[in-house]
Amino acid sequence: MGILRGKLLPPVLAILFSALLCGIALLVSGANPVDAFGVMVSQVGQGTTAVDIINSTGTYYIAALAVAIGFQMNLFNIGVEGQYRVAAVVAAVVGGSLALPPGLHALVVILVAALVGALWAAIPAVLKVTRGVNEVISTIMMNGLALGLAAYLIREDVFGELRGNNIRTPEIPESGWVPGIPLGSAGTVFGLVFLAALLGVGYWVMMNRTRFGFELKASGESATAAAAGGVNAKKMVLVAMLLSGGIAGLVSMPEILGRDHTYNLNFPAGLGFAGIAIALLGRNHPGGIAFGALLWAFLDKSGLALDNVGVPREIVTIMQGAIVLSVVVAYEVVRRFELAAEQRRVGKQLGTVGAS
């Protein structure tokens, strides 16, 4: 029970606290917080919002998993943003230029995306291992390069084509699409949302049941103890970064293979950064991340309704930021409290029994 309390208490505290903060922000700006929150909740039942939230959750989930793998060993992969973008362009181009049987076609596109994401992440990884370049700096710079590279690749004279006033990569033929679950007027759930769930399971198994996961966790907990225990720090950095990048490459796959079938100028940005926040929120735990992704998606999609009651929907961004900050603080507070409680418990079972 104590363990569960330690896991659930911080996010609940943090969410309540940030709701309070946003409530105050709403009051200050002259709106009624109860109305605003009410509108957001009732929006879930409107139109395709519920399905949009699920689809968005899947995307966020993959992004956050990618970040979490790095976090496990205190590796800050800020480059998820760039990794999924480059992966998306290249995968879309490859997918659009291939003719393969259904199923296999989609599989190839997915593998290409993972591979490209991993390769893009390999650059900062190799720099860190061989030259000691801080991955925060290099991945941020790689994000800038990714934007430029993507823009170049979809130029008309390279791989792109002009459709209306939008530039996009050639459409992936139907054999490469991943069918979704149509829910009529409520929208269609992307088929690859299940890929996200599968990745979550795989991530849990890796962290809890494999030697690699153990070494990853050990490196993150104490680099010195890991080194003394024979964990090769350089190898871990390399593998963790490649894995993180590979998963990052899959971030846009649900949308591209499930709906857009192409990479175009409307490609969503900022998923990688949201992934950082969600991984923090979920404490790198697959369940926690799922919850964080759902919350993020809910705030995003339901927040659209705020405009209807005259509340600026930027309040949602404030709320997201407040949640992350409060979560970080709340976890640290609860962690210290829990450790003291555990020591007390051990002390009680040994000390007082012995002293009696």
Partner 1 sequence: MSTSTPATDGPPAVVLSGITKRFPGVVANSDVHLTVRTGEVHALCGENGAGKSTLMKILYGMQHPDEGTIEVAGKAVRFRSPADAIRAGIGMVHQHFMLADNLTVQENVVLGAEALHGIGGRARKVILDLAKSTGLTVDPAVLVERLGVADRQRVEILKVLYRGAKVVILDEPTAVLVPQEVDELFATLRAMQQQGFTFLFISHKLDEVRAIADSVTVIRRGTTVGTADPKAVSSRQLAEMMVGSELPSPETRESTVTDRVVLRVEGLGLVAEEGTRPVLDGIDLVVRSGEVVGIAGVEGNGQTELVETIMGMRRAHHGRVLLADRDVTRLGTLARREAGIGYVPEDRHRQGLLLTQPLWANRVLGHQTREPVAKGPWLDLAGAKRDTERIVADFDVRTPGIDVPAAALSGGNQQKLVVGRELSGDPVLLIASHPTRGVDVGAQALIWDEIKAARARGLAVLLISADLDELIGLSDTIKVMLRGRLVADADPASVTPEDLGSAMTGAGSTSAAVAELGGGE
231 near partner 1 (CB under 8 A)? yes
Task: Identify the residue among 165, 228, 266, 270 touching partner 1 (CB under 8 A).
Answer: 228
Residue 131 contacts partner 1 per CB under 8 A: no
Q: Tokens 């507070």 correspond to what residue?
A: 333
* Residue 181 zone, left/alpha/beta (φ > 0; ψ -120 to 50; rest): beta
User: Is the Cβ of residue 185 or residue 224 nearer to partner 1 in the bound state?
Assistant: 224
By the rule CB under 8 A, 201 interacts with partner 1: no
Least separation in angstroms between residue 4's CB and partner 1 is: 14
Residue selected from 29, 34, 174, 221 as contacting partner 1 according to rule CB under 8 A: 221
CB of 72 to partner 1, least distance (A): 13
Q: Which residues contact 243 (CB under 8 A, 6 or more apart)?
A: 69, 118
Instruction: Please choose, from the candidates 109, 105, 88, 93, the residue with its C-alpha nearest in 3D space to the C-alpha of residue 169.
Output: 93
Can you name the residues that pair with 163 across neighbouring β-strands?
166
Size of the site for partner 1 (CB under 8 A): 36
Which one, 17 or 214, has the nearer CB to partner 1?
A: 214
Residue listed under structure tokens 């919350």: 295
User: Do residues 303 and 40 touch, judged by C-beta distance below 8 A?
Assistant: yes
Any contact of residue 165 with partner 1 (CB under 8 A)?
Answer: no
Q: What is the footprint of partner 1 within residues 295-354 (CB under 8 A)?
A: 339-340, 342-347, 349-352, 354
Query: What residues contact residue 63 under an 8 Å CB cut-off, 6+ apart?
Result: 80, 84, 248, 251, 271, 272, 274, 275, 278
**Could you tell me if 207 and 65 are in contact, meaning their C-beta atoms sit under 8 angstroms apart?**
no
217 binding partner 1? (CB under 8 A): yes
Does 202 engage in binding with partner 1 (CB under 8 A)?
Answer: no
**The only residue of 34, 158, 227, 309 in contact with partner 1, by rule CB under 8 A:** 227
Half-sphere exposure (Cβ direction) of 70: Cα atoms closer than 13 Å: 31
Stretch that binds partner 1, among 86-94, 122-130, 230-238, 313-321 (CB under 8 A): 230-238
With CB under 8 A as the contact rule, the residue among 32, 97, 222, 317 that binds partner 1 is: 222
73, containing H or E segment: none
Residues within the interface to partner 1 (CB under 8 A): 208-215, 217-218, 221-222, 224-232, 339-340, 342-347, 349-352, 354-356
